[in-house]
Amino acid sequence: MIRAYELTDTAVLTSVHNTLFPHQPHTRQSWGAHIDGILRVNGRAWTLTVDNIPIAYAAGLPVPGLPGLVELEGFVNPARQRQGYGTRLLTHIKAELMGTAVTQLSYPVPHLHTPAACFLLKNDFFIEHEEQMMELRIDNSQLPIVNSHLPLATHHLPPTTAIPLFCQLYAACFTGLPWNQPFTEAEVAAMLRHREELLFLMEDDLPIGFVWLRSQPNNIVQLEPIGVIPEKQGQGYGRTLLHLVLSQLAAQGVTAVTLGVWTSNKPALHLYQSLGFRQTESVIYLAYDV
């Protein structure tokens, strides 16, 4: 039987998850919070049961800024794998979402030889794009030197100003590009935890760029997204913005910064590599058009 996820599924599915992903363990409480987070943003979660016992799980999380795109997650109890249950659950999800606002399902894999990738490719998923995850270990003595005489400064702004400005600059930077993810102001407000997360690059008090600083465990900060308006690209503004950000983060005790970039975005890849960022992993996004 395939049905909507129920609270009573938590204990069994937490145990199955921890068996499959021992390096990413959940407690019952944290697993419940994870499901609540998915449902709170209009996501969906399903359970497949045999004799009323949950043996498989899947969920779909809407991707902010990309209406119609849903990122999948899921698993099947190892004792029940290769018996058709995963295919049954995926077929059910495809049918249930047909005719809804969902237009595409997405699933990230580190490479195409994982069991998940092999399963999805056999079920009509295709390679949508690939991203490089990059990291730079930082301290004040190791920061790249950028010689710039540009009249630039970075500023934090009140949320009432920062949120619409971010959306405006983001649209100016990325509209028409494959990696465009046009956030609404409501989505930004929902994701923004502190006003200090949004940092703007100013030239003579005019905003020309931005970076979203997302704090991670272990004194790590993720830069996502980061951009400079088209008129200022190719002139050293992006490099200077990154240098200013890295200097500030190093002074705050941040030990490393991470970011993701599409493999096809060669100018950005070259910039990050020239500043010392190194690839830590690749992520291939598989997709299915509903």
Give the domain ranges of the chain. 2-102, 134-283
The pLDDT, as a whole number, for residue 146 is: 59
Domains 2-102 and 134-283 share a fold: yes
Going by C-beta distance under 8 Å and a sequence separation of 6 or more, which residues neighbour residue 46?
Answer: 2, 3, 4, 5, 57, 58, 59, 89, 92, 93
The pLDDT, as a whole number, for residue 278 is: 96
Q: DSSP letter for 114, please.
A: S
- Residue 204 phi/psi, 5-degree rounding, is 50, 45
- Residue 123 phi/psi, 5-degree rounding, is -115, 35
| Joined tokens for residue 260 | 């993701």
Q: How many residues does the chain have?
A: 290
- Residue 179 phi/psi, 5-degree rounding, is -95, 15
Can you give the pTM of this predicted structure? 0.87
- Residue 77 phi/psi, 5-degree rounding, is -50, 130
CATH number at 134-283: 3.40.630.30
Query: Radius of gyration of the chain from Cα atoms?
Result: 21
CB atoms within 10 A of CB 158: 8
pLDDT tens-digit profile, the chain (290 residues): 999 999 999 999 999 999 999 999 999 999 999 999 999 989 999 999 999 999 999 999 999 889 999 999 999 999 999 999 999 999 999 999 999 999 999 999 999 999 999 999 999 999 999 999 999 998 765 666 555 666 678 888 999 999 999 999 999 999 999 999 988 999 999 899 888 899 999 998 899 999 999 999 899 999 999 999 999 999 989 999 999 999 899 989 999 999 999 999 999 999 999 999 999 999 999 999 99
Class at the top of the CATH hierarchy for domain 2-102: alpha beta
The pLDDT, as a whole number, for residue 137 is: 93
d(CA 218, CA 139): 14
